[in-house]
Chain A
Amino acid sequence: EPEVTQTPSHQVTQMGQEVILRCVPISNHLYFYWYRQILGQKVEFLVSFYNNEISEKSEIFDDQFSVERPDGSNFTLKIRSTKLEDSAMYFCASSGDDNEKLFFGSGTQLSVL
């Protein structure tokens, strides 16, 4: 079965540094998402992306965050200047025609020191 792939599985960075989290969605999917889960808290929506632009974003997704689909296969989340509170598991997801069925990657655990 096709799957969403995320790299790296773990990322450690210093506060203030830029990080890029990478995702390869399922190839024929059209909708792309980032969610995150801070340890012990709920999985939170960050942003959705369709037709090469952001379609919806949450309050968490401030100017420090950006997303990009640089080519036909990758979907990236950039955090420009990381803060301690950005430490979380970040999940990428994609969906196709059945827009209610999201396929999630296994996540990138980001640790900001």
Chain B
Amino acid sequence: GNSVTQMEGPVTLSEEAFLTINCTYTATGYPSLFWYVQYPGEGLQLLLKATKADDKGSNKGFEATYRKETTSFHLEKGSVQVSDSAVYFCALSLNSGYSTLTFGKGTMLLVSP
């Protein structure tokens, strides 16, 4: 079946530190890959996506590269801010036409000043 595995949280960093949140996947086809972010009290928001191997998704300073050879889609940011504190979800979709997403458990990021 399809599944997504993310590193356990919380991840605690100081402002301006480098962030990596690991994500690996198992899929029966060629998925699209996503990172969603959930800020406190809000819904999940699409942060970035990549639809094929070697694509790099980027948004708000965050990046993730679709690595087919390692089945990974790790999220990175060079310098985090306090406002980046949120829960980050890695997800995949097999483009069934109705965009059914398979999510990871989510990783909480806490950034302190």
Contacts and interface: CB of A to CB of B under 8 A. Distances in A.
Interface of A: 3-4, 6, 31, 33, 35, 37, 40-45, 48, 50, 55-56, 91, 93, 95, 99-107
Given A3-B43, A91-B43, A50 B99 contact: no
B112 interface: no
A95 B51 CA distance: 17
Contacts of B49: 100-101
A81 to B, nearest CB: 26
Interface of B: 4, 32, 34, 36, 41-46, 49, 51, 89, 91, 93, 95-106
A50 B98 CA distance: 8
A42 B103 CA distance: 6
Given A56-B96, A91-B43, A102 B104 contact: no
B100 A106 contact: no
Contact of B105 (A42, A93, A101, A103): A42
